[in-house]
Amino acid sequence: MFWDLTPEAERAFVADPSKGSRHNRGCAVDLTLFEISSGAPVEMTSDYDAFDESAHPDFKGGTAAQREMRDLLRTMMEAQGFTVYDNEWWHYDFKDWRSYRIQNIPFDEIE
């Protein structure tokens, strides 16, 4: 339903259900950085789940501080074997994600 409701111009931000998602292979994570003292998310070049170019991991806009935090997150994730998705600074795929089978397990069944 999410795929069907998403305008075609924004589908790069949504997984095609006929192909499965990196997430439902157990090989992707969406995340950001949080400031420990406040518990608030660190300001990035866009909001999480923005459907425009400000979400791209190489977006040149925003402030220098926003780009620095986004790039710090990327550096830390890549050091652990993850790669950033081309359209979303917050989405990271684990290496070899294509080799894992697609699963569809409800959250309440995960142990």
What pLDDT is attached to residue 22? 83
Q: Which residue has the tokens 């830390």?
A: 76
- Whole-prediction pTM: 0.80
pLDDT given for residue 44 in this prediction: 97
- Contacting residues for 34 by C-beta, under 8 A, at least 6 apart: 40, 41, 42
> pLDDT tens digit string along 50-82?
989 999 999 999 999 999 999 999 999 999 999
Domains of the chain, CATH where assigned: 20-103 (3.30.1380.10)
d(CA 49, CA 91): 10
